[in-house]
Amino acid sequence: MPAERFVSVTFRRDETIGTANYLAGASTTLPESLARGLGDSVTITGPGTAPRHSTADEITAGQALVTGAWIPDPQPAGRPIVVAHRGGPHVNPEHSMLAYRACYAAGIRHIELDCHLLSDGTIGIMHDSTIDRTTNGTGNTVDQTLASWRALRIDTLDANGIVTSESPPVLEDVLDWAIDRDVVLVPEAKSAEVVGPMLAVLAGRRFPAAKVIFQSFTEGWLAPAIAQGYRCILLATNPSETTIATAVAAGYWGVGGSDANLTSTEIALAKSLGLKTWSYTIDRRSEYDAAATAGIEYCFCDDPVYQQRSLRLLSAPLSARRFVPGYVASAAGGESPRGAFQADGTLLIGSTADTSYRGVSLGMLCPIGGALLPSSYTITATFALAAVSTSDQWFGLMFNAQSDTQFVDSAGAAACHQVVCRQSGNLDIYSKLDGVTAVRDVRVSGAALTLGTQYTLTITVTPTTITAALSSGTTAVSTDSRFRGGYVQIGARGATVKVAALSV
């Protein structure tokens, strides 16, 4: 087989191309097939030579250029297979061809689809029963036609909605893209009526059955697919021994359920009966690790590249104004606590409406420590308090956490250290053990922080000390040799904060 030809590309600036905006003007060399797959996101500027260490088939081309500082951080062999749930909507617009291409370029080889039967027999790819949340239109999904579907534009990406140039895909779009790639599609039938047309389209496109795994929450719907020899999985929010017995009797290939409700006993039973085990929806590495320990073989993930652990950065690309793998909400309440990128290139987090903790794990920087980074390191954050409910409210960093579990400074969550910058001028260093309320170890009082003014917080970690220094002149030091490396989170309580930069 001839060697892959490489081309030089430049990333375009176009407000209609959501996933490429943060790379505007950046240039690199990519395999031609990958460059072509990125479509309108890039302009091919000429032939190129292979880079010395090409990872283009393992990482998203765009992600590789965010800072130029990606570090290979491969996932150990034998772990659960990562499935791109809805195409990975924490990083790219949900169920878009851009998202599927990005997942594939990042090494993800299983992509989930949600299939609805539209009013004219077209099979549209969308999760919801209405088009309101993920497009610029309104109405019921099943009431659409191919013509109205093509007129829609995808306009969602969590807290940073963007209107893309893409219409939602139809099944044929995905099949035509996937047929010559080593990717497995995992379509969910959203109704009994869509299964027959799905099978007809697959047959008409001569799409290999080995590249498809059907899924459904309703046992009887996939009988036609099972009869044709397709692998099928039966899902249940609260799977039980009855669910497993039903799956075996009906000829299902696998069974799955919510990671919160699938017990190790049920997993072991399913595997003993020859069923593959699946879990959804995994957002944190701590959840993925728990699933792996329990014996799960496939994990549906909203941020699949982060879960696959194939990449790591040295600085958070906040000024890019785009989510990249690893922005994980570190408090309850869905994805809104991740914050929203602002026109000035900052990430706005927190709220003054209440004193609930709100923050985001910067998983793209983690884990700190191990072979790639020593236990001595420095974290630098540039931030401004935009508003506070009282002068005691704050911006803070949580670090040395041994997992990316949801952070709370009361009981629960993982052991970590925490530095808090209060508007009053107090600079605090806390330590926290697993399942124990955080304890303040050091407080140093300084000048009050001025709202709207940028400050730099520098945290220096050595094997025996933690030093927090604010550019306002306040410094606090704690002698503490417990837990090092791990995960970093930024957060706020009773305050809105603009974070301009963060690096390790």
What are the pLDDT digits (tens) for 113-124? 999 999 999 999
Q: Judge if 221 and 361 occupy the same domain.
A: no
Query: What integer pLDDT is reported at residue 74 of this predicted model?
Result: 57
Query: What integer pLDDT is reported at residue 335 of this predicted model?
Result: 46
pTM recorded for the entire structure: 0.84
Q: Region 436-457: what's the mean pLDDT?
A: 95
When comparing pLDDT for 19 and 479, which is higher?
A: 479
Of the listed ranges 59-63, 72-76, 448-452, the least confidently predicted one is: 59-63
pLDDT over threshold 50, residue 106: yes
pLDDT over threshold 60, residue 262: yes
Phi-psi region of 309 (alpha: psi -120 to 50; beta: other; left: phi over 0): left
Query: What integer pLDDT is reported at residue 123 of this predicted model?
Result: 99
Q: Region 40-50: what's the mean pLDDT?
A: 67
Q: Judge if 169 and 56 occupy the same domain.
A: no
CATH code for the domain of 151: 3.20.20.190
Q: Judge if 209 and 341 occupy the same domain.
A: no
CA angle (199, 204, 209) in 5-degree steps: 55
Phi-psi region of 483 (alpha: psi -120 to 50; beta: other; left: phi over 0): left
Of the listed ranges 88-97, 186-195, 458-467, the least confidently predicted one is: 88-97
Summarised one tens digit per residue, pLDDT across range 300-329 is 999 998 898 766 676 777 776 778 788 888
Q: Judge if 12 and 103 occupy the same domain.
A: no
What mean pLDDT value characterizes the chain?
A: 84
Using CA atoms, how far apart are residues 223 and 233, in angstroms rounded to an integer?
11
Query: What integer pLDDT is reported at residue 58 of this predicted model?
Result: 32
**Type and span of the H or E element at 28:** strand 27-31
pLDDT over threshold 90, residue 345: no
pLDDT band at 365 (very low <50, low <70, confident <90, very high): confident
Q: How many domains, in total, are found in the chain?
A: 3
Q: How far is CA 165 from the centre of its chain?
A: 22
User: Could you report how far apart the first and last alpha carbons of the chain are, in Å?
Assistant: 42
Select, from the ranges 97-106, 243-252, 337-346, 426-435, the one with the highest average predicted confidence (pLDDT): 243-252
Q: Judge if 397 and 432 occupy the same domain.
A: yes
pLDDT over threshold 70, residue 408: no
Q: Judge if 172 and 304 occupy the same domain.
A: yes
Q: Judge if 341 and 410 occupy the same domain.
A: yes
Of the listed ranges 7-11, 368-372, 404-408, the least confidently predicted one is: 368-372
Domain termination site, one of 308, 335, 353: 308
Query: What integer pLDDT is reported at residue 274 of this predicted model?
Result: 98
The reply to whether 264 falls in a domain is yes
Q: Which of 119, 136, 110, 140 is nearest to 128 (CA)?
A: 140
The reply to whether 496 falls in a domain is yes
CATH code for the domain of 459: 2.60.120.560
Instruction: Provide the residue range defining the domain that includes 464.
Output: 326-503
**Residue 478 structure tokens:** 């704690």
**Secondary structure of 307-366 as H, E, C letters:** HHCCEECCEECHHHCCCCCCEEECCCCCCHHHCEECCCCCEEEECCCCCCEEEEEEHHHC
**Residue 300 structure tokens:** 């549906």
Query: What integer pLDDT is reported at residue 56 of this predicted model?
Result: 33
The reply to whether 76 falls in a domain is no
Q: Judge if 47 and 132 occupy the same domain.
A: no
The reply to whether 156 falls in a domain is yes
Domain termination site, one of 25, 41, 70: 70
Query: What integer pLDDT is reported at residue 13 of this predicted model?
Result: 47
Of the listed ranges 21-35, 121-135, 138-152, 468-482, the least confidently predicted one is: 21-35
The reply to whether 116 falls in a domain is yes
pLDDT over threshold 70, residue 374: no
Query: What integer pLDDT is reported at residue 497 of this predicted model?
Result: 96
What SS3 state is found at 13? coil
Q: Judge if 121 and 192 occupy the same domain.
A: yes
Query: What integer pLDDT is reported at residue 98 of this predicted model?
Result: 85
In this structure, what DSSP letter does residue 140 have?
B
Which residue stretches of 161-284 are H helix?
171-178, 195-204, 223-227, 241-250, 264-272
pLDDT band at 16 (very low <50, low <70, confident <90, very high): very low
pLDDT band at 164 (very low <50, low <70, confident <90, very high): confident
Using CA atoms, how far apart are residues 234 and 226, in angstroms rounded to an integer?
11
Q: Judge if 174 and 287 occupy the same domain.
A: yes
The reply to whether 314 falls in a domain is no
* Amino acid at site 260: A
Q: Region 428-448: what's the mean pLDDT?
A: 92
Query: What integer pLDDT is reported at residue 22 of this predicted model?
Result: 39
Crossing angle of helices 195-204 and 171-178, in 10° steps, is: 40
Q: Region 457-483: what's the mean pLDDT?
A: 96
The reply to whether 313 falls in a domain is no
pLDDT over threshold 80, residue 60: no
When comparing pLDDT for 161 and 284, which is higher?
A: 284
pLDDT over threshold 50, residue 23: no
pLDDT over threshold 80, residue 272: yes
Summarised one tens digit per residue, pLDDT across range 174-211 is 999 999 999 999 999 999 999 999 999 999 999 999 99
Query: What integer pLDDT is reported at residue 126 of this predicted model?
Result: 98
When comparing pLDDT for 203 and 101, which is higher?
A: 203
The reply to whether 316 falls in a domain is no
Q: Judge if 423 and 451 occupy the same domain.
A: yes
Q: Judge if 179 and 208 occupy the same domain.
A: yes
When comparing pLDDT for 369 and 491, which is higher?
A: 491
